[in-house]
Amino acid sequence: MRRVLITGGAGFIGSHVADVLLRAGYEVRLLDNLSPQVHGPLRQRPAYLNKDAELIVGDLTDAFSVDRALRGVDMVVHLASSVGVGQSMYDIESYVRANELGTAILLQTLTKRPVERLLVASSMSIYGEGLGRTADDQVVSPEERSIDQLKRCEWELKDAQGRHLVPLPTPETKQPSLSSIYALNKYAQERMCLIAGKAYGIATIALRFFNVFGPNQALSNPYTGVLAIFAARLLNDRPPLVFEDGLQRRDFVHVRDVARACRLALETDHVNDVFNIGSGRSRSILSVAQDLARVMGRPALAPHITGKYRAGDIRHCFADIEKSRAILGFEPRVGFEEGLDELAGYLADQVADDQAERATEELLRRGLVA
């Protein structure tokens, strides 16, 4: 029986990956530091975590913990990461330490304790503004929006002639466009794993996750996924806070589909490559906030559109998943409405500490929101 180590395995995505792998007959070990920002000040084993998963509490930047966790392991799913574009723009040292140094220590340890396969979680954030189509049908990589443009509340992407671009699905061939420290971290993690994997003969795959949602997401972490942040507001009878005009578009993929994609990546013969994992569809942030309020029974809590921008945010990005379909056999199974209804059921008995306004005030104080 093969044993898989999941770094960050007590977290949102890791817990679902553990469930999928345990059902498939794998032994599962988790390494997680139970960060208070995610798991609360008591840092206890989460109740949602599968009882058959072995948990080692330790930090990825601690070589001893990593060495201990890798003993007897055949495969690694590397999910451990500090997440959040906004926080990464001011907590720079912490993000680089957790994401890049932590990955370096994992890879250094793998040179002494090699495994068959390494799967690393990357992110859609590396694509920046995704792809766009001009008025004369040219496909372009949009320029990053300027501060002057954002100050004028001109949110949409434009071509060289000032004409609006039509957003397009983004394939893996799109060159990186790194607009935040977090995006830089994720690209570094991806490349470090692929480079080291090739050098040491470890079959390696990077999965670029888009906006993952579903049960077990940390509701009191103001830098987690946008649906969890909106849910925390609504649970406290407060309207979701929406930046810009709310018409920015994202790709929302259910966590069970993401977990299944991880198993496919562990079992495919095609390695040393990168794949998008999303739904292949886009939705506006404003519509998502409205839909969540409706399924949670709080339709009167209309989203508050701030008309402000945050440093590091991008306008549109959603996945082209044709490569994942063709090579991994990945096909999203959980529709957005179905996933949203399930999320509402999960949220019904949850308590959340809404930290969204505090997080925004922190960004404002540092000049990262205007």
pLDDT in tens, 33-61: 999 988 888 888 999 999 999 999 999 99
Calpha distance 170→163 (Å, rounded)? 20
pLDDT of residue 27: 98
* CA nearest neighbour of 252 among 285, 275, 220, 230: 285
H or E element: which one contains 300?
none
pLDDT of residue 133: 95
H or E element: which one contains 57?
strand 54-57
Using the predicted structure, report yes or no on whether residue 127 has a pLDDT greater than 90: yes
Runs of H (alpha helix) within the chain: 12-23, 36-39, 63-70, 85-88, 92-95, 102-110, 147-151, 181-200, 226-235, 255-267, 285-295, 322-323, 336-347, 356-365
Calpha distance 262→205 (Å, rounded)? 10
Using the predicted structure, report yes or no on whether residue 367 has a pLDDT greater than 90: no
Using the predicted structure, report yes or no on whether residue 368 has a pLDDT greater than 90: no
Q: Parse the chain into domains and list their residue ranges.
A: 3-365
Query: Is 182 annotated as catalytic?
Result: yes
Using the predicted structure, report yes or no on whether residue 245 has a pLDDT greater than 90: yes
Q: How far is CA 142 from the centre of its chain?
A: 22
pLDDT, tens only, 286-322 = 999 999 999 999 999 999 999 999 888 999 999 999 9
Residue 210 pLDDT level (bands cut at 50, 70, 90): very high
Among residues 26, 95, 127, 182, which one is catalytic? 182
Cβ atoms of 284 and 247 closer than 8 Å:
yes
pLDDT of residue 363: 84
pLDDT of residue 222: 80
* CA nearest neighbour of 336 among 213, 249, 208: 213
Judged by DSSP in three states, 112 sits in: coil
Using the predicted structure, report yes or no on whether residue 355 has a pLDDT greater than 90: no
pLDDT, tens only, 132-178 = 999 999 999 998 898 899 999 999 999 888 889 999 999 999 999 99
| 3-365 CATH fold | Rossmann fold (3.40.50)
Cβ atoms of 311 and 151 closer than 8 Å:
no
pLDDT of residue 162: 85
Calculate the dihedral angle through the C-alpha atoms of 103, 109, 111, 114, rounding to the nearest 10 degrees. -100
Residue 160, Cβ neighbours under 10 Å: how many?
8
Token duo for residue 293: 């309020």
Calpha distance 97→264 (Å, rounded)? 30
Sort 158 into a burial class: Cβ within 10 Å, 0-12 / 13-18 / 19+. Answer: middle
Distances (CA, A) of 137 to 130, 142, 177, 316: 16, 14, 22, 18
pLDDT of residue 273: 98
Residue 120 pLDDT level (bands cut at 50, 70, 90): very high
pLDDT of residue 291: 96
Average pLDDT of the segment spanning 93-119: 97
pLDDT, tens only, 99-110 = 999 999 999 999
pLDDT of residue 56: 98
pLDDT of residue 353: 83
pLDDT, tens only, 253-265 = 999 999 999 999 9
Backbone angles phi, psi at 106, to 5 degrees: -60, -50
HSE-up of residue 336 (Cα within 13 Å, Cβ side): 18
Token duo for residue 6: 């999941």
Radius of gyration of the chain (CA): 20
Token duo for residue 153: 């509340």
Using the predicted structure, report yes or no on whether residue 361 has a pLDDT greater than 90: no
pTM given for the model: 0.96
pLDDT, tens only, 328-348 = 999 999 999 999 999 999 999
